[in-house]
Chains A and B, each alone.
Chain A
Amino acid sequence: MSFVSLAFVLLFVFSYIICRLVQTRAQKHFVLLIASYIFYAYWDARFLLLLILQTYISYFLAKKIERAESPKLGKRYMLLGVSISLGILGFFKYFNFFVGSFATLFGIKSLGALNIILPVGISFYTFQALSYLIDVYRDKLKACDRFVDLSMYISFFPQLVAGPIVRASDFLPQMEEDRPMTRANLVEGLQIFLFGLIKKIVIADRLAVCVDAVFGSPGSYSGLSLVVAVVAYSIQIYCDFSGYSDMAIGIAKTFGYDLCRNFDMPYVSPNPTEFWKRWHISLSTWLRDYLYIPLGGNRKGKLRTKINLMLTMLLGGLWHGANWQMVFWGALHGGALVVHKTFREQVDAHNMRTSSRVLKGILTGLSVVAMYLFTCVCWVFFRAQSFPDAITILSRIWTGAGGVQYYYVFTFIFAAIIALASIIGVRNNQGHGYYPILNLSKFWPKVLLLFVILLTVMFFYAGDTAFIYFQF
């Protein structure tokens, strides 16, 4: 079930009303769990069983970890849980990729491929389940007493299929509190939802029209048209994914829960380190806490730090999709992080920091532009249908090749809007984004809200475009 459907509106309205009517926290959790299962089963009821199985394994093994007589035994249970979860994810998402890559590597004609359907959201809920198990093992969290509570955390429908990847240590404590479903929460949540909805159906879906056409036949378009399409994709993927996150955050808010921020104006980042603090924050922090730091983080010397960074980003790339393009995309970002870390080390070692505010401002501005251009180059590998296509796009841009002139008008309009929003964020909130929540007790904010809703209805893209991150 997509957020952009009547079925979802009905599910939301009914579950909201019932949650307002029930008397206890436990009842509310149960209602939300049923709603979440309906939400998930709407795609494919068979995979609901997988979700329940995954949840039960986490529930059962977390209990075992907590009751383990020795830390060694607890570790074994934790490793067993991690292995099972990753095994399920590996089978559904990576089996064909690894078998195919193995066959190619050893020149084997065909090892056959299984007809495996990727369960929607598996990468997201698996990571949530892992965070729960590991946090229980690390003693940061108590194991859930009630299966319903853990199930609701893992399958909470706003963030189930495309994030944000909510940590058990952030969410389970909220479930233990009385989280009132107030009118203020409803108004704020719905405004955040609307904000995300506009990003998705007005901006991202419109830009998809241009992106799909140009990336489908890159050899036909002029270098400049390809630049416009790459910029369009950079905006599309940002608005698509952050739009979904905003919708999830908004819906959760209406039920009284706070989900973590997943995006924070990533395109104003002056360097790769900053970019990954602003882009898909819930994934990058998850990878930091459950992969990079356990690998040794920056505690084992400079070289090992860089290897750890690279490994983390390679796996981060693989998380996005089972193909070598995604791995390469991760490697590019990993490489950039390593270069930036080395650069910072040199700057610190040689005391090269400038004290001039003007020079600092110019350098930051240039860094933001350079980082954006680098991100766009990486997006080419992320979006192109194949490696040769990605190379074609970049070489045609580089050589200014002739071809069909296609300058999609909406790219310029939306780029201007994003740039303006970024400038406002930089000026008003110290470089960070914020939700423009309107005070609806006044007249003009009401007009503005209704005008925005009318414009959304007038200009949303009526075609059928799924959320990009559903495939991950």
Chain B
Amino acid sequence: MSKKTVITILSWCAALAVALLLANVVSFFYRSGAGSIQRENAYSASIRTPNSRIVRGAEGYGVNAVDENGYLNDSTQPLKHNYILLMGSSHAEGLQVMQKNTMTSVLNRMLNPDERTVYNLGTAGQTFPLIVEGFRAAIEEFPDAKAIMIEVQLLDFSQAEFDRAMDQAAFDPASSGRALEQSLGLARRLRNGILGVLPVISQLRQQIDSINFSMSDAFGIAAFLEKNKAQQEAQETSAQAVESKYSERINRAMELLRDEFENPIIILYHSGVSLLGDGTLQVNRDMRYYDDFKQACEANGIVFLDAGDAFLRAYEANRSLPYGFHNTTMPSGHLNTLGHRIVAEEFYKAWMEIQDKENN
């Protein structure tokens, strides 16, 4: 290899390093922090890297703190001894809004501005079946909960999900955030350290993953695989034993929640909404399951809330929408600041009613 070639290669490598550093600075403000740690025998299958900070700017913009357990909580104020656990999906987790605007923070300020009453267990991808599946483990990990609030957006509950959910695992203390962090090997710590100071790597990886999908899709491979998977699933489903009805499944799931936890449980359902051509807002409740889900809650002494009417009131008052951001679309995606506030208010009202009843 000639000297000129070597110099050219070195020059390109140096240029790439400088460009990566510049891109990395951008990444720090756009998408950085907190990968996830996988675990078993616990409420959720993964937690965020404990004691870290997350910045996310792709949908809304949020800077959030991760506590020692791997959940998004602002630990600047002490947590009450008897706290309320807030379970839910990425909506409850609240990565898309600033920490002070998450439903957990809003609810905490409403209940008592001087201390934390609500502890956020919101986890991306934790749909209702997964919440049920990890319910016992959550109560064992957080035994001092005096109430549980659950945020759900999807009411589906398949037979397979039901079968998994009914098989409740006990909490393994080795799966706590603290224990997992301490047990991390050197290689993993090093990896986390590198990803922490070079967030550009995660961002590029995430984008390239989506390119891979698009490209395989361009050849029709993705569609082909999807078709095969769907056929296989259909065959497996037909080969399985006779499924129970949704109403039975959801009722047994609610019974399980009730049996596992004797204190108040509040489930808030917030369906998606859409803007119609004539300017009205439509609440897209999933009517396939809605009545059965609601009845199952009521039959088991679980408070069922529906944020849909509150969403409509907010829209009629000043054309405000609960979902969507100025850097994505309205009204789709995750709950925005208003959505978090509405959900928090609905939880608050229900909790106050429960308190009033208990006091009387």
Closest residue to B12 on the A side, CB-wise? Answer: A446
Query: A462: CB under 8 A from chain B?
Result: yes
State which of B18-26, B189-197, B238-246, B303-311 sits at the interface with chain A.
B18-26
- Contact yes or no, B218 A402, CB < 8 A: no
Nearest-neighbour CB distance to chain B for A441, whole angstroms, equals: 9
State which of B81-89, B199-207, B224-232, B251-259 sits at the interface with chain A.
B199-207
Nearest-neighbour CB distance to chain A for B272, whole angstroms, equals: 14
By a CB distance below 8 angstroms, the chain A residues around B320 are 404
Given A405-B319, A406-B326, A407-B326, A5–B11 Cβ distance below 8 Å? no
Nearest-neighbour CB distance to chain B for A160, whole angstroms, equals: 17
Query: B279: CB under 8 A from chain A?
Result: yes
- Contact yes or no, B277 A217, CB < 8 A: yes
State which of B170-178, B327-335, B350-358 sits at the interface with chain A.
B327-335
Query: B27: CB under 8 A from chain A?
Result: yes
Q: What would be 21 A-B contacts, judged by CB atoms less than 8 Å apart?
A: A6-B215, A7-B219, A212-B329, A213-B330, A216-B277, A219-B277, A219-B279, A222-B319, A404-B319, A405-B319, A409-B327, A443-B14, A447-B22, A448-B19, A450-B19, A451-B18, A451-B23, A454-B20, A454-B22, A455-B26, A464-B214
CA distance A470 to B200 in the complex (A): 34
Query: A22: CB under 8 A from chain B?
Result: no
By a CB distance below 8 angstroms, the chain B residues around A451 are 18-19, 22-23
Closest residue to B278 on the A side, CB-wise? Answer: A219
By a CB distance below 8 angstroms, the chain A residues around B326 are 406-409
Given A217-B275, A404-B321, A404-B330, A6–B218 Cβ distance below 8 Å? yes
- Contact yes or no, B327 A410, CB < 8 A: yes
Q: Interface 1/0s, chain A 167-203, versus B by CB < 8 A?
A: 0000000000000000000000000000000000000
Query: B15: CB under 8 A from chain A?
Result: yes
Query: B276: CB under 8 A from chain A?
Result: yes
Query: A286: CB under 8 A from chain B?
Result: no
Contact of A458 among B27, B215, B277 (CB under 8 A): B27
Query: A247: CB under 8 A from chain B?
Result: no
Question: Which of B23, B200, B216, B217 has most A Cβ within 10 Å?
Answer: B23
Contact of B204 among A209, A410, A458 (CB under 8 A): A458
By a CB distance below 8 angstroms, the chain B residues around A217 are 275-277, 279
Contact of B11 among A409, A446, A460 (CB under 8 A): A446
Q: Which positions in B face A, CB cutoff 8 Å?
A: 11-12, 14-16, 18-20, 22-23, 26-27, 30, 200, 203-204, 207-208, 210-211, 214-219, 275-281, 319-321, 324, 326-332
Nearest-neighbour CB distance to chain B for A406, whole angstroms, equals: 5
Given A217-B275, A406-B330, A5–B12 Cβ distance below 8 Å? no
Query: A73: CB under 8 A from chain B?
Result: no
| 9 more A-B residue pairs beyond the given contacts A457-B207, A458-B23, A462-B207, with a C-beta to C-beta distance below 8 A | A218-B277, A219-B279, A220-B276, A220-B279, A405-B319, A446-B12, A446-B15, A450-B15, A450-B19
Nearest-neighbour CB distance to chain B for A450, whole angstroms, equals: 4
By a CB distance below 8 angstroms, the chain B residues around A443 are 11, 14-15
Q: Which of A424-471 contact B (CB under 8 A)?
A: 443, 446-451, 453-455, 457-458, 460, 462, 464
Query: A210: CB under 8 A from chain B?
Result: yes
Nearest-neighbour CB distance to chain A for B103, whole angstroms, equals: 22
Contact-residue bracket for chain A: 35 or more
CA distance A403 to B279 in the complex (A): 8
Nearest-neighbour CB distance to chain B for A4, whole angstroms, equals: 8
Nearest-neighbour CB distance to chain B for A8, whole angstroms, equals: 8
CA distance A217 to B331 in the complex (A): 11
Query: A2: CB under 8 A from chain B?
Result: yes
Question: Which of B211, B281, B319 has most A Cβ within 10 Å?
Answer: B319
Closest residue to A403 on the B side, CB-wise? Answer: B319
Nearest-neighbour CB distance to chain B for A87, whole angstroms, equals: 34
How many pairs of A and B residues are in contact by the CB < 8 Å rule? 105
By a CB distance below 8 angstroms, the chain B residues around A209 are 328-329
Is chain A's interface secondary structure helix, strand, loop, or mixed overall?
helix
CA distance A446 to B215 in the complex (A): 27
CA distance A460 to B203 in the complex (A): 11
- Contact yes or no, B204 A462, CB < 8 A: no
By a CB distance below 8 angstroms, the chain B residues around A457 are 204, 207-208, 211
Nearest-neighbour CB distance to chain A for B57, whole angstroms, equals: 10
Lowest 9 A-B CB distances belong to which pairs? Answer: A6-B215, A450-B19, A446-B15, A219-B279, A462-B210, A5-B218, A451-B19, A454-B23, A220-B275
Nearest-neighbour CB distance to chain B for A408, whole angstroms, equals: 6
- Contact yes or no, B214 A462, CB < 8 A: yes
Closest residue to A212 on the B side, CB-wise? Answer: B329
Closest residue to A445 on the B side, CB-wise? Answer: B15
By a CB distance below 8 angstroms, the chain B residues around A406 are 324, 326, 330
CA distance A88 to B285 in the complex (A): 49
- Contact yes or no, B204 A454, CB < 8 A: yes
CA distance A4 to B319 in the complex (A): 38
Q: Which of A1-30 contact B (CB under 8 A)?
A: 1-2, 4-7
CA distance A210 to B325 in the complex (A): 11
CA distance A464 to B214 in the complex (A): 8
By a CB distance below 8 angstroms, the chain B residues around A213 are 329-330, 332
By a CB distance below 8 angstroms, the chain B residues around A448 are 19
Nearest-neighbour CB distance to chain A for B311, whole angstroms, equals: 13
Closest residue to A7 on the B side, CB-wise? Answer: B218
Question: Which of B22, B277, B320 has most A Cβ within 10 Å?
Answer: B277
Closest residue to B219 on the A side, CB-wise? Answer: A7
By a CB distance below 8 angstroms, the chain B residues around A455 are 23, 26
By a CB distance below 8 angstroms, the chain A residues around B280 are 220
Given A217-B275, A446-B12, A458-B27, A408–B19 Cβ distance below 8 Å? no
Nearest-neighbour CB distance to chain A for B320, whole angstroms, equals: 8
By a CB distance below 8 angstroms, the chain A residues around B14 are 443
CA distance A448 to B15 in the complex (A): 8
Nearest-neighbour CB distance to chain A for B5, whole angstroms, equals: 14
CA distance A216 to B276 in the complex (A): 9
- Contact yes or no, A460 B23, CB < 8 A: no
By a CB distance below 8 angstroms, the chain B residues around A447 are 15, 18-19, 22
Nearest-neighbour CB distance to chain A for B336, whole angstroms, equals: 11
- Contact yes or no, A458 B327, CB < 8 A: no
By a CB distance below 8 angstroms, the chain B residues around A460 are 207
- Contact yes or no, B275 A404, CB < 8 A: yes
Nearest-neighbour CB distance to chain A for B322, whole angstroms, equals: 12
Nearest-neighbour CB distance to chain B for A209, whole angstroms, equals: 5
By a CB distance below 8 angstroms, the chain A residues around B330 are 213, 404, 406
Nearest-neighbour CB distance to chain A for B318, whole angstroms, equals: 8
CA distance A408 to B11 in the complex (A): 39
By a CB distance below 8 angstroms, the chain A residues around B214 are 4-5, 462, 464
By a CB distance below 8 angstroms, the chain B residues around A210 are 329
Nearest-neighbour CB distance to chain A for B204, whole angstroms, equals: 6
By a CB distance below 8 angstroms, the chain A residues around B203 are 458
CA distance A388 to B217 in the complex (A): 37
By a CB distance below 8 angstroms, the chain A residues around B207 are 457-458, 460, 462
